């Protein structure tokens, strides 16, 4: 066990000796930190927009850069949560509960430093969990067939659809629409064109990057631009303190926060491994558990430093552990994992169990790159925190055009020129509708990414089962996952029905 953990890591660090690879990882963390600090610009936006920049890098530098962006952005989002009471990403909302009151008390420096330390600890421990868990899980995945794979994919998509959206119905609808868009292009078995409307650009299917940039970045920018005056007003209200005692984490702060950090990390790792739950669930869960188990719960919401630590450790622990299903099974459990799939494919790597056999050296280097990124996060956070706090003062009239420019370049490069931009704008507008009407764009994107695998495994499953569902008894793992899918839908439908009934009772009384 120890050997299987440390041997690949040692080999990975040896192959990571290239100074340029290390530079790209550090650049990724720094860019991610800056982007994450700006409200509304999350890790999904940053990675989707910057994938084209990585075309010409070697696989480890490219994916290391993108993972650095994801890690940096998750940690950076605490800055605006603490200083502006406006989280850079939804998952940092719980950080604002105590971070903003601390900032109002003139202790912004202390809160920012604790957020950074908690982020780094959560991220590092979660990375080690990824290294320990992914390979054994991949080994298990190698031994299962298409019937089992179909069961797992079906369960994952339903799980994400049920939990990621505002309602089960809309979540499942989003997943179905994602699966439908994935059918565009030449069909796998017969090469019959589907929904191509005679256009050659559609023969390879709809490109993921313009779709992701449209739904994540462009849609977000459209909504931010419509609200730019309010955002700029919040930025103008930032207060800063020059007192040294307000800018350091004391021994007493550590004593209060360390249990919260470890608990938050555990919650983050667990939530991250489960597809679709996301960092927001982890950070709120960790914050809730920490406040409930505290001997002084009345301090929470008024500037408790352990509230910041609990939320940030869980938030950052989710990112590495959400790569467990991606690395081991090839199933993206989050938006960032879905976007990373395209980066893997661009660089000739197929995420999933075979990656540990065919690209073992790259996996080892990626593990090492992720650990380097954790330490880069600490260094860049400590050195550049005041710089990143300054960046968030940039008005939206400068941020939005810059993001639109990067969106355009990304879609143009990866989407086949103007056609890519057309796809980006269409999905950007659909993304605005999805966000405003509560349809889960996360489920849509994941359905779109795993759509080809769902179809392929379903096509293999039907003949294997002799077109008879009763033959599922010969595939107990698949039967369990399909039963879990049905059970999950029944539970979620029941809970939605109860919620609606209680709403009706409340209205009547």
List contacts with other proteins (CB under 8 A). 53, 55-56, 167, 169-170, 172-173, 176-177, 179-180, 183, 187, 189-190, 192-197, 218, 221-223, 225-228, 395-398, 400-402, 404-405, 408-409, 412, 418, 421-422, 425, 428-429, 432-433, 436-439, 455, 458-459, 462-463, 500, 503-504, 507
The residues with which 186 forms a beta bridge, in sequence order, are 193
Contact between residue 313 and residue 118 where contact means Cβ atoms under 8 Å apart: yes
Print the SS3 string covering 27-93.
HHHHHHHHHHHCCCCCHHHHHHHHHHHHCCCCHHHHHHHHHHHHHHHHHHHHHHHHHHCCCCCHHHH
Nearest distance, CB of residue 180 and other proteins, angstroms: 4
Nearest distance, CB of residue 482 and other proteins, angstroms: 15
SS3 call for 193 = strand
Ranges of H-type helices in 239-359: 251-273, 278-293, 305-321, 323-329, 335-346, 355-358
Nearest distance, CB of residue 30 and other proteins, angstroms: 16
Contact between residue 174 and residue 444 where contact means Cβ atoms under 8 Å apart: yes
CA 321 to chain centre: 10
Query: Could you say which DSSP state residue 302 is in?
Result: S
Give the C-alpha separation, 381 to 37, whole Å: 11
Nearest distance, CB of residue 59 and other proteins, angstroms: 17
Write the CB contacts of 93 (distance below 8 Å, at least 6 apart in sequence): 81, 87, 280, 283, 284
Nearest distance, CB of residue 486 and other proteins, angstroms: 15
Contact between residue 210 and residue 414 where contact means Cβ atoms under 8 Å apart: yes
Please, which residue, 187 or 204, has the CB nearer to other proteins? 187
SS3 call for 186 = strand
260 burial (CB, 10 Å; 0-12 / 13-18 / 19+) is buried
Backbone angles phi, psi at 148, to 5 degrees: -65, -40
Please, which residue, 127 or 440, has the CB nearer to other proteins? 440
Please, which residue, 91 or 457, has the CB nearer to other proteins? 457
Contact between residue 48 and residue 217 where contact means Cβ atoms under 8 Å apart: yes
Nearest distance, CB of residue 429 and other proteins, angstroms: 6
């Amino acid at each position: 066990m120890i050997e299987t953990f440390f041997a690949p890591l040692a080999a990975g660090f040896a192959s990571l000796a290239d100074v340029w690879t290390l530079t790209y990882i550090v650049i990724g963390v720094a860019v991610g930190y800056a982007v994450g600090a700006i409200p509304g610009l999350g890790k999904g936006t940053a990675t989707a927009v910057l994938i084209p920049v990585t075309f010409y890098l070697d696989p480890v530098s490219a994916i290391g850069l993108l993972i650095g962006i994801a890690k940096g952005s998750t940690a950076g989002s605490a800055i605006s949560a603490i200083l502006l009471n406006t989280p850079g990403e939804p998952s940092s909302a719980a950080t604002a509960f105590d971070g903003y009151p601390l900032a109002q008390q003139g202790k912004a420096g202390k809160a920012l430093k604790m957020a950074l330390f908690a982020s780094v600890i959560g991220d590092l421990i979660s990375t080690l969990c990824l290294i320990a868990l992914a390979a054994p899980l991949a080994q298990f995945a190698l031994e299962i067939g298409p019937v089992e794979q179909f069961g797992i994919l079906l369960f994952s998509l339903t799980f994400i659809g049920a939990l990621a959206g505002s309602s089960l119905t809309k979540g499942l609808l989003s997943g179905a629409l994602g699966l439908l868009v994935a059918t565009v292009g030449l069909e796998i078995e017969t090469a019959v064109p589907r929904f191509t409307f005679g256009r050659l650009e559609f023969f390879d299917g709809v490109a993921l990057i313009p779709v992701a940039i449209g739904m994540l970045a462009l849609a977000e920018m459209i909504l931010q631009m419509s609200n730019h005056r309010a955002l700029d007003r919040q930025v103008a209200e930032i207060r800063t303190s020059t007192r040294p005692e307000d800018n350091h984490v004391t021994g007493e702060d550590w004593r209060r926060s360390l249990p919260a950090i470890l608990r938050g990390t555990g919650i983050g790792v667990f939530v991250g491994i489960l597809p679709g739950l996301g960092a927001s669930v982890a950070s709120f869960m960790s914050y809730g558990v920490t406040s409930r188990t505290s001997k002084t719960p009345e301090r929470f919401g008024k500037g408790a430093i352990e509230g910041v630590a609990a939320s940030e450790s869980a938030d950052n622990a989710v990112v590495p552990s959400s790569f467990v299903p991606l690395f081991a099974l090839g199933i993206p459990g989050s938006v960032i994992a879905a976007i990373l799939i395209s980066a893997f494919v661009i660089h000739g790597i197929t995420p999933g169990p075979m990656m540990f056999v065919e690209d073992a050296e790259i996996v080892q280097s990626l593990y090492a790159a992720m650990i380097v990124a954790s330490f880069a996060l600490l260094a860049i956070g400590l050195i550049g925190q005041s710089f990143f706090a300054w960046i968030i003062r940039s008005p939206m009239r400068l941020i939005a055009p810059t993001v639109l420019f990067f969106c355009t370049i990304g879609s143009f490069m990866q989407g086949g020129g103007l056609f890519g931009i057309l796809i980006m704008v269409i999905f950007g507008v659909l993304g605005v509708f999805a966000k405003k009407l509560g349809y889960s764009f996360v489920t849509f994107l994941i359905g779109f990414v795993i759509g080809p695998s769902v179809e392929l495994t379903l096509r293999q499953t039907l003949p294997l089962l002799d077109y008879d569902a009763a033959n599922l008894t010969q595939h107990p793992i698949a039967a369990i996952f399909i039963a879990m899918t049905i059970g999950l839908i029944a539970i979620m439908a029941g809970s939605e029905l109860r919620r609606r009934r209680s709403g009706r009772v409340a209205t009547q009384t």
